[in-house]
Amino acid sequence: MGDTMYDLNKINDCLNTKKIGQTIIQYEELTSTYLKSKNIFGTCPDGAVILSEKQTKWTVRMGQEWVCHPEKNIYLSIILKPLVNNHLTSKFDVIGCAALCEALNNLYNIDCKIKWPNDILARDKKVSSVNSSLVVRNNRPEGIIISLGINTNISMEEIESCDEIKEIATSLFHETSGEVDREELIAEILNNIEKYYEEMIDSGSVQGVSDIFREDSVIIDKDIEVRKKGKKTSRKVYAKDINAEGLLVVINEKGNEEILSPGEIVITYEKNT
């Protein structure tokens, strides 16, 4: 391992969790922390965290790829093993987004916004993405993997050198005008996720987190366009609310209320001027 690997002792010193992050496994390079987590899921304890300095592939919903810069960004996955059903997946997207927004606000006073279902924005540009996936073995759900990719200490010059993202992305380095302590940020995110995770287990819902998600949303009370995964055509709807399940409540063109799952992604929305 090189000198640029994550300092696990520093992460541990900043943690106040009982479960999440008590086991951390780090790698210099992975295809993705999600794929590694999925492969070793059965041998890892509940709350285990997989970190990688470099990822050769970080694909978010709808097949979009996210830029990877070793030693500058954060790539992590969290293994959670509750008794779950498929409908819980969207709740973990909400938990991950709310936890990250809270961490960035508390540590760096960044006014982050959430573009449903899983993008974190700073001044209307993407700084992170959260993806929750159900783990199923022998036709039975066994747990959830929450994965995050965060543009941390990458410069705008490096972002602008990548044609695919130069118009839509930013970084914490740019937003704070300085280098971010990755270990401190990781610990803060894990602390927040465990807090919201325990609330969900106790109450059976993510209503409290949904309230945070709603307050930080860039699309609520706006006309938006959504497109189903794998489809080329989009449709216009009015974003009304985020419900207790973490799903988007919209009013369709016929005036009827409709619930959208994360299989539909927001394409465009009315930006504040």
- 149-158: per-residue pLDDT in tens? 999 999 888 8
- In the chain, what is the straight-line distance between the N-terminal and C-terminal CA atoms, in Å? 47
- Give 3 or 62, the one with higher predicted confidence: 3
What pLDDT was estimated at residue 228? 83
Burial class (CB in 10 A: 0-12, 13-18, 19+), 115: buried
Tens digit of pLDDT for each residue in 181-214? 999 999 999 999 999 999 888 877 777 788 888 8
The helix, strand and coil proportions of the chain, stated in percent and rounded to the nearest 5, come to 30, 30, 40
Q: Residue 85: which pLDDT band, with cuts at 50, 70 and 90?
A: low
Per-residue pLDDT band for 170 (boundaries 50, 70, 90) equals very high
The reply to whether 87 falls in a domain is yes
Mean pLDDT of 84-108: 86
Name the domain count of the chain: 2
Percent of all residues in the chain with a pLDDT value above 90, rounded to a whole number: 60
The whole-chain average pLDDT of the chain stands at: 87
> What are the tokens at 13?
């010193």
Report yes or no on 1 lying in a domain.
no
- C-alpha distances out from residue 207 to 149, 210, 258, Å: 25, 5, 19
Q: Do 149 and 210 lie in a common domain? A: yes
Indicate if 74 and 111 belong to the same structural domain: yes
> In what side-by-side order are the strands of the sheet with 222-228?
257-260, 248-251, 235-242, 222-228, 264-269
How far apart CA 91 and CA 103 sit, in angstroms, is 18
Element spanning 37, H or E: helix 33-39
- In angstroms, what is the C-alpha Rg of the chain? 18
Residues 86 and 157 grouped into a single domain: yes
Q: Are residues 184 and 234 in the same domain?
A: no
Pair (107, 227) in one structural domain: no
Are 197 and 228 members of one domain? no
Tokens 């573009």 found at: 115
Least confident of 55-69, 130-144, 171-185, 217-231: 55-69
Could you tell me which residues come within 8 angstroms of residue 136 by beta carbon, excluding any fewer than 6 positions away? 142
Q: What is the CATH number of the domain that holds 25?
A: 3.30.930.10
Phi and psi dihedrals of 172, rounded to 5? -65, -35
Degrees, nearest 5: CA angle 54-56-62: 120
Same domain, 232 and 165: no
End residue of a domain, out of 215, 237, 257: 215
Task: Say whether both 165 and 245 belong to one domain.
Answer: no
Owning domain of residue 226: 222-269
